[in-house]
Amino acid sequence: MANRVINFNPGPAALPLEALERAQRELLDFEGTGMSILEHSHRGKDYERVHVETIGLLRELCGLSDDYQVLLLQGGASQQFAMVPMNLLPVGRSADYVVTGAFAKKAYAESQFIGKTRIAATTEDADGTFRRVPKQHELQLDPNAAYVHVCSNNTIMGTEYHVLPDTGSVPLVVDMSSDILSQKRDFSRFGLVYAGAQKNLGPSGVAVVIARKAWLAEGREDIPKIFRYKEHAKENSLFNTAPTFSIYLLRNALSILKREGGVDAIEQRNRKKAALLYGLVDENPEFFYTKVERESRSIMNPVFRLRTPELDAKMVAEAKEAGFVGIKGHKLVGGLRISIYNWITEEQVAQFVEWARQFARRNA
Ligand SMILES: *Cc1c(COP(=O)(O)O)cnc(C)c1O
pLDDT tens readout for residues 121-180: 999 999 888 999 999 999 999 999 999 999 999 999 999 999 999 999 999 999 999 999
Contact 123, 131 (CB under 8 A): yes
What is the average pLDDT across 287-301?
Answer: 97
What is the average pLDDT across 307-319?
Answer: 97
pLDDT tens readout for residues 234-244: 999 999 999 99
Q: Is the distance from the beta carbon of residue 151 to the nearest atom of ligand 1 less than 6 Å?
A: yes
Ligand 1: atom nearest CA of 80 is 9
pLDDT category of residue 341 using cuts at 50, 70 and 90: very high
Ligand 1: atom nearest CA of 76 is 7
Q: Is the distance from the beta carbon of residue 177 to the nearest atom of ligand 1 less than 6 Å?
A: yes
Give pLDDT, residue 127.
Answer: 86
Contact 348, 31 (CB under 8 A): no
Residue 232 has pLDDT above 70, yes or no: yes
Ligand 1 centroid to Cα of residue 150, in Å, is 13
Residue 105 has pLDDT above 70, yes or no: yes
The gap between the terminal CA atoms of the chain, to the nearest Å, is 37
Contact 203, 254 (CB under 8 A): no
Residue 339 has pLDDT above 80, yes or no: yes
What is the average pLDDT across 41-46?
Answer: 98
Give pLDDT, residue 128.
Answer: 86
Q: Is the distance from the beta carbon of residue 11 to the nearest atom of ligand 1 less than 6 Å?
A: yes
Give pLDDT, residue 1.
Answer: 60
Residue 318 has pLDDT above 70, yes or no: yes
Q: Is the distance from the beta carbon of residue 175 to the nearest atom of ligand 1 less than 6 Å?
A: yes
Ligand 1 centroid to Cα of residue 287, in Å, is 31
Q: Cβ neighbours of residue 254 under 8 Å, at least 6 residues apart?
A: 54, 57, 58, 61, 201, 202
CA 38 to chain centre: 25
Give the right CATH number for 262-363 from 3.40.1440.10, 3.90.1150.10, 3.40.50.150, 3.40.50.620. Answer: 3.90.1150.10
Residue 328 has pLDDT above 80, yes or no: yes
pLDDT tens readout for residues 63-92: 999 999 999 999 999 999 999 999 999 999
Contact 124, 99 (CB under 8 A): yes
What is the average pLDDT across 246-264?
Answer: 98
Ligand 1: atom nearest CA of 11 is 1
What is the average pLDDT across 264-274?
Answer: 98
Q: Is the distance from the beta carbon of residue 100 to the nearest atom of ligand 1 less than 6 Å?
A: no
Ligand 1 pocket mutation, candidates 9, 73, 78, 108, criterion most atoms within 8 A of CB: 78
pLDDT tens readout for residues 178-205: 999 999 999 999 999 999 999 999 999 9
The residue extents of the domains of the chain are 18-259, 262-363
Residue 2 has pLDDT above 90, yes or no: no
Give pLDDT, residue 357.
Answer: 97
CA dihedral 258, 260, 266, 269 (to 10 degrees): -170
Write the Ramachandran bin of 326: left for phi over 0, alpha for psi from -120 to 50, otherwise beta.
Answer: left
Give pLDDT, residue 102.
Answer: 96
Give, to the nearest 10 degrees, the angle between helix 17-26 and helix 244-259. Answer: 130
CA proximity to 325, closest of 1, 14, 2: 14
Ligand 1 centroid to Cα of residue 155, in Å, is 8
pLDDT above 70: percentage of residues in the chain: 100
Mean pLDDT of the chain: 97
Using omega within 30 degrees of 0 as the cis cutoff, is the peptide bond preceding 12 cis? Answer: yes
Q: Is the distance from the beta carbon of residue 76 to the nearest atom of ligand 1 less than 6 Å?
A: yes
Ligand 1 centroid to Cα of residue 80, in Å, is 9
In CATH terms, the fold of domain 18-259 is: Aspartate Aminotransferase; domain 2 (3.40.640)
CA distance 43 to 211: 24
Ligand 1 centroid to Cα of residue 123, in Å, is 19
CA distance 255 to 249: 10
Ligand 1 centroid to Cα of residue 199, in Å, is 8
Residue 247 has pLDDT above 90, yes or no: yes
Ligand 1 centroid to Cα of residue 315, in Å, is 26
CA distance 135 to 150: 13
Q: Is the distance from the beta carbon of residue 178 to the nearest atom of ligand 1 less than 6 Å?
A: yes
CA distance 166 to 101: 20
Q: Is residue 8 classed exposed, middle or buried when 0-12, 13-18 and 19+ CB atoms within 10 A define those classes?
A: buried
Ligand 1: atom nearest CA of 178 is 15
